[in-house]
Amino acid sequence: MYAARLLFPALLLLTASTAMSAPQAHMVFFTLAEPSEANRDRLVAGCQKHLADHDGVLYFSVGVLADDLDREVNDKSFHVALHLVFESREAHDTYQKHPRHLTFVKENKTLWSQVKVYDSDLVKAASSAPAE
């Protein structure tokens, strides 16, 4: 019983440590307050100017709604999508407080009426065996 009392907190720490070191996906979907090509392009340019090339970023992209894809599962409630993958939760947390990120929000927040953020800890992909 004594060993179990020691092991459980250690396992919790290990789990938290693993989540902190796993790559972190940060997906942000912006709905424009006043939808127009000019506002969309301005927001895309702001993302490129302020949010690309941060330390710890493994992947950066910004794009616009693919309006021609029309399936039941397609969410069309946004205009601009930002996709970032960080090497760790720590890199994500540092980015959130970085002056360039804060400047982006300050300079562009009037462009959007809604922001949806989806953060996830990425898991290692399973190895796939070659097809026979």
Give me the sheet containing 57-64, strands edge to edge: 57-64, 80-86, 24-32, 112-121
Distance CA 85, CA 26 (A): 6
Q: What is the pLDDT of residues 32-78, one digit of tens each?
A: 999 999 999 999 999 999 999 999 999 999 999 999 999 999 999 99
Give the CATH number of the domain where residue 109 resides: 3.30.70.100
Q: What is the pLDDT of residues 95-130, one digit of tens each?
A: 999 999 999 999 999 999 999 999 999 997 766 666
Q: Residue 4 domain-assigned? A: no
Q: Which residues pair with 32 in a beta bridge?
A: 112
Q: Give the predicted TM-score (pTM) of the model.
A: 0.79
Task: Find the domain containing 63 and state its range.
Answer: 22-67+75-121
The stretch 21-42 carries a mean pLDDT of 97
Model confidence at 17: pLDDT above 50: no
The stretch 81-94 carries a mean pLDDT of 98
The count of domains in the chain is 1
